[in-house]
Amino acid sequence: MKRKLLLYTLILLLSLSACAQKRDWIMFRGDQGQGATATRLHPPLGIKWKLRLQPKPTYAFNNPVVLGDTIYFGSTDGNFYALDIESGYMRWVFKTKGAINSVPCADGQNIYFGANDGKVYAVSQEMGEEVWSFQADSTVQSTVVVYNNLVIFSSDGGTTYFLSSDGNPLFTLPNPIWHYDTFQIYRDIMYFAPGPLKRAHSFGAFDLTQQAYLWVMDTAAMNAVWYSFPALKGDTLYMSTAANRKEFWLFNYYAFERSTGKILWKTTDHSEWGGELELNTNTMFDQNMKLLDYLAPAMWKNLLIYTSGDTRVRAFRAKSGALAWERTFDVPTSSAPTVSGNRVYFGLRGIEELGKQPRLICLLAKNGSLLWELELEGALLSAPVISGNWMIFGTDKNIFYTLEELF
């Protein structure tokens, strides 16, 4: 009987531990950048609470960090917020002297983020007090990553920095070209670091231990303006690019061999806008450049799902690049996708002249079937974050939403 009781206790503890882990979202685009979580969030979803941060619209609302019962995120109003996930109660606010358009990270004690005042801040999670700050050589609108006691980030058209955990510079890489830099680190390799100065328009896979490039990508041959945040699965790396050709946007979707940079497949497509829409696609393209997860894929089993900022959602087979399914909407997508269980969530823009409200969309990941939608106050910017039973995101009306399952 004691053995049975012990077994039941262990099962309960493991179950509770797993539930606690599911509440945290601490890594940009999730594990290995796959834009997915095993947590199943089933629609319909209802608004648990929403909060208008400022009366003015915003151009970006990048992913928050969720730790336990607290949401941490920066805003273009120059404030970094810590909110209670249950109620929206503001635990603390940390003020900077510039807009915040970086993606934060956490290490259990501090939150790290960059701002357009050119500083990177370490702020205590509990109280929101400054632990240290570091003055970079330009605005910091990148992912900020903590890895093996390193704090890593890039300034816009300046430098990629590698700091110690207490804010002291250890080494740097020149970054004269790239703005809104996003990267991830897997098994000591940075995907991607800005390339060597002799190939300044490139970027590559950089070994942090050896402080040397494994390989450098030929971005000149790719001829794009935007290069997405990569997703990793096994020995393969997935990403996409976009270029504004005025009449249309040109998209390329890639799979690379992770160890060598060899292209395994490439699929090309162009934007689709729909006949009835009159859109300023040049302005829309520029707006997308400020979203750090623009064109980042979400992975479900053997599929790569992309929302590319036009009216199509595309799903490609990860092994071949063949189109598995696509779905066309009446308005363009506004955010990258997030996969939750077997469902994929993302935002659609609104068009006031046509009486079309911005929406949150839920599709079945395996075939793109429409399952559910919800009208929003403003267009969803950046992919929704799933934490426990909640979905979290911000809109261009500067409204922060937390949704929950209704049933």
Quickly state the pLDDT bin for 276 (edges 50, 70, 90). Answer: low
Q: What is the per-residue DSSP string for 149-181?
A: TEEEEE-TTSEEEEEETTS-EEEEEE-SS-SS-
Answer yes or no: do 217 and 240 share one domain: no
By the 10 Å C-beta count (0-12 exposed, 13-18 middle, 19+ buried), 380 is classed as buried
Answer yes or no: do 218 and 252 share one domain: no
Report how far residue 105's alpha carbon sits from residue 114's, in angstroms, rounded to the nearest whole number: 10
**Residue 247 counted as domain residue:** yes
- Whether the per-residue pLDDT at 146 is higher than 60: the answer is yes
- Whether the per-residue pLDDT at 7 is higher than 50: the answer is no
Q: Which CATH number fits the domain that encloses residue 115?
A: 2.130.10.10
Q: Which residue, among 76, 156, 174, 86, has the nearest Cα to 118 in the 3D structure?
A: 156
Structure token pair of residue 308: 């590319």
Answer yes or no: do 233 and 330 share one domain: yes
Quickly state the pLDDT bin for 6 (edges 50, 70, 90). Answer: very low
Predicted pLDDT at 351: 87
What are the pLDDT digits (tens) for 299-356? 999 999 999 999 999 999 999 999 999 999 999 999 999 999 999 999 999 988 788 8
Answer yes or no: do 175 and 46 share one domain: no
Last residue of a domain, one of 162, 197, 224: 224
What are the pLDDT digits (tens) for 70-124? 999 999 999 999 999 999 999 999 999 999 999 999 998 999 999 999 999 999 9
Predicted pLDDT at 25: 82
**Residue 404 counted as domain residue:** yes
Contacts of residue 75, defined as CB under 8 A and 6 or more positions apart, other chains included, come to: 53, 54, 58, 61, 81, 99, 100, 394, 398
Predicted pLDDT at 20: 40
Predicted pLDDT at 212: 97
What are the pLDDT digits (tens) for 246-255? 889 999 999 9
Last residue of a domain, one of 195, 224, 253: 224
Report how far residue 203's alpha carbon sits from residue 191's, in angstroms, rounded to the nearest whole number: 9
Report how far residue 14's alpha carbon sits from residue 256's, in angstroms, rounded to the nearest whole number: 37
What is the residue whose two structure tokens read 């426990």? 388
Q: Which residue, among 91, 79, 65, has the nearest Cα to 115 in the 3D structure?
A: 79
Answer yes or no: do 77 and 214 share one domain: yes
108: amino acid identity, one letter: G
**Residue 213 counted as domain residue:** yes
Q: Is the peptide bond before 44 cis (omega within 30 degrees of 0)?
A: yes
Q: Which residue, among 289, 245, 331, has the nearest Cα to 101 in the 3D structure?
A: 289
Phi and psi of 213, rounded to 5°?
-80, 135
151: amino acid identity, one letter: V
Contacts of residue 362, defined as CB under 8 A and 6 or more positions apart, other chains included, come to: 43, 343, 344, 345, 370, 371, 372, 373
**Residue 3 counted as domain residue:** no
Report how far residue 256's alpha carbon sits from residue 110's, in angstroms, rounded to the nearest whole number: 35
**Residue 12 counted as domain residue:** no
- Whether the per-residue pLDDT at 12 is higher than 80: the answer is no
**Residue 13 counted as domain residue:** no
Last residue of a domain, one of 203, 224, 245: 224
Helix or strand (DSSP H, E) at 342? none
Domain count, the chain: 2
Q: Which residue has the higher pLDDT, 10 or 229?
A: 229
Answer yes or no: do 51 and 74 share one domain: no
- Whether the per-residue pLDDT at 359 is higher than 60: the answer is yes
Contacts of residue 142, defined as CB under 8 A and 6 or more positions apart, other chains included, come to: 102, 103, 114, 153, 154, 155, 156, 180, 181, 182, 183, 292
What is the percent of the chain where pLDDT is above 90? 83
Answer yes or no: do 138 and 272 share one domain: no
Residue 309 contacts residue 294 (beta carbons within 8 Å): yes
Answer yes or no: do 131 and 243 share one domain: no
**Residue 314 counted as domain residue:** yes
Structure token pair of residue 344: 């994929």
Answer yes or no: do 406 and 274 share one domain: yes
Predicted pLDDT at 60: 87
- Whether the per-residue pLDDT at 17 is higher than 70: the answer is no
Dmax (CA) for the chain in angstroms is 74
| Mean pLDDT, all residues of the chain | 92
Quickly state the pLDDT bin for 9 (edges 50, 70, 90). Answer: very low
Backbone region of residue 374 per phi and psi (left: phi > 0; alpha: psi in -120 to 50; beta: other values): beta
The mean pLDDT value for 218-239 works out to 95
Answer yes or no: do 243 and 200 share one domain: no
Report how far residue 382's alpha carbon sits from residue 296's, in angstroms, rounded to the nearest whole number: 10
Phi and psi of 147, rounded to 5°?
-150, 120
pTM of the predicted model, to two decimals? 0.92
- Whether the per-residue pLDDT at 19 is higher than 70: the answer is no
Answer yes or no: do 108 and 235 share one domain: no
The mean pLDDT value for 264-278 works out to 88
Residue 321 contacts residue 253 (beta carbons within 8 Å): yes
Structure token pair of residue 193: 């670091």
Q: Which CATH number fits the domain that encloses residue 237?
A: 2.140.10.10
Residue 216 contacts residue 199 (beta carbons within 8 Å): yes
- Whether the per-residue pLDDT at 229 is higher than 90: the answer is yes
Quickly state the pLDDT bin for 8 (edges 50, 70, 90). Answer: very low
Quickly state the pLDDT bin for 136 (edges 50, 70, 90). Answer: very high
Query: Domain range holding 253?
Result: 30-60+228-407
Answer yes or no: do 245 and 346 share one domain: yes
Report how far residue 123's alpha carbon sits from residue 32's, in angstroms, rounded to the nearest whole number: 25
**Residue 11 counted as domain residue:** no
